[in-house]
Amino acid sequence: MGIKKKLIALHDYNEHKIIDQIKNILKNKNCVLISDAGSPLISDPGYNLVQYCINNNIRVTSVPGPSSTISSLQLSGLPISEFTFLGFVPKSKKKIEDIIKNISQEKRVSVLFVSSHKLIIFLECLEKIMPERSVSICKEITKINEFVFRGLSKKVKNEILKEKENLKGEFVAVIDRHTIKSQDFDRIDLYRNEIKKMITKFSLTDIVEIVHKFTNINKNKIYKWLLKLKD
């Protein structure tokens, strides 16, 4: 980073130990908490250090810098007057599905960090649970290879898979909020497994009638959803 002063590595696992080592320095000298990527405390270590300073009347200030979260929101093309930040996507597929199910009812735009090796799994889960919800995948924000993929999860996934280079780097996912418009598709999605079984036994026309009878959702919407489910 080109810094000539003494550097001490601060991690989640050693934060309390480092605080104990530098507590006298904190009281008598200026110290700076920096991240080699991202921003301190935003899915990064530093919370305990800041709390220690506050509790011991040590002045803390912040120097604004580039934010991948804010930049991704601005570039997403989604309504961002309200948003919720959820940190990194979980490691297991089951937990990814759980967090997406929670997002499906979120009335604010949702922002998550996604590692490159979890990106396709994340988009597949999004496609499975919220196939009609718009998403923006922002790659390498503020860097030379910055690019934004926008659209429904299936379209975005297919675009990313066209080139291996698309899967390299750091990613921020911005997911559209739950609206009355998206509510119908979310309701249909509750019956996804049952409807898949019905497809092998009934015509699409018959299924449309059955689903309409139980949900009162517009038949054209049901039919379009069924076509995407078959693809």
Q: If pLDDT is split at 50, 70 and 90, which confidence band does 212 have?
A: confident
Please indicate, yes or no, whether residues 54 and 4 belong to a single structural domain of this protein. Answer: yes
Last residue of a domain, one of 45, 65, 85: 65
pLDDT tens digit string along 161-189?
A: 999 999 999 999 999 998 755 566 666 77
DSSP string computed for 31-98: -----SSSBTTBSSS-HHHHHHHHHTT----------HHHHHHHHS-S--SSEEEEEEPPSSHHHHHH
Please indicate, yes or no, whether residues 33 and 14 belong to a single structural domain of this protein. Answer: yes
Higher-pLDDT residue of 183 and 131 is: 131
Q: What CATH code is carried by the domain that includes residue 73?
A: 3.30.950.10
Instruction: Tell me how long the chain is.
Output: 231
Say if pTM beats, i.e. exceeds, 0.85.
Answer: no
pLDDT tens digit string along 146-164?
A: 999 999 999 999 999 999 9
- pLDDT for the residue numbered 2: 64
- pLDDT for the residue numbered 180: 56
Please indicate, yes or no, whether residues 56 and 80 belong to a single structural domain of this protein. Answer: no
Please indicate, yes or no, whether residues 206 and 151 belong to a single structural domain of this protein. Answer: no
Domain containing residue 110: 68-177
Last residue of a domain, one of 49, 65, 81: 65
pLDDT tens digit string along 34-89?
A: 887 778 888 888 999 999 999 999 999 988 777 889 999 999 999 999 999 999 99
Please indicate, yes or no, whether residues 80 and 167 belong to a single structural domain of this protein. Answer: yes
Q: If pLDDT is split at 50, 70 and 90, which confidence band does 114 have?
A: very high
- pLDDT for the residue numbered 99: 95
pLDDT at 109 over 70: yes
pLDDT tens digit string along 3-44?
A: 777 889 999 999 999 999 998 989 888 899 988 777 888 888
Distance between CA atoms of 36 and 57, rounded to whole angstroms?
Answer: 27
Please indicate, yes or no, whether residues 137 and 98 belong to a single structural domain of this protein. Answer: yes
Distance between CA atoms of 19 and 17, rounded to whole angstroms?
Answer: 5
Please indicate, yes or no, whether residues 38 and 89 belong to a single structural domain of this protein. Answer: no
Q: What are the φ/ψ torsions at residue 99 (nearest 5 degrees)?
A: -70, -35
Last residue of a domain, one of 28, 50, 65: 65
**Percent of the chain clearing pLDDT 70 (strictly above):** 95
Please indicate, yes or no, whether residues 163 and 74 belong to a single structural domain of this protein. Answer: yes
Q: If pLDDT is split at 50, 70 and 90, which confidence band does 102 have?
A: very high
**How many independent structural domains does the chain possess?**
3
Please indicate, yes or no, whether residues 13 and 110 belong to a single structural domain of this protein. Answer: no
Please indicate, yes or no, whether residues 48 and 110 belong to a single structural domain of this protein. Answer: no
Please indicate, yes or no, whether residues 75 and 168 belong to a single structural domain of this protein. Answer: yes
Strands (E), the chain: 83-88, 109-114, 134-139, 147-152, 171-175
Please indicate, yes or no, whether residues 173 and 187 belong to a single structural domain of this protein. Answer: no
Q: If pLDDT is split at 50, 70 and 90, which confidence band does 103 have?
A: very high
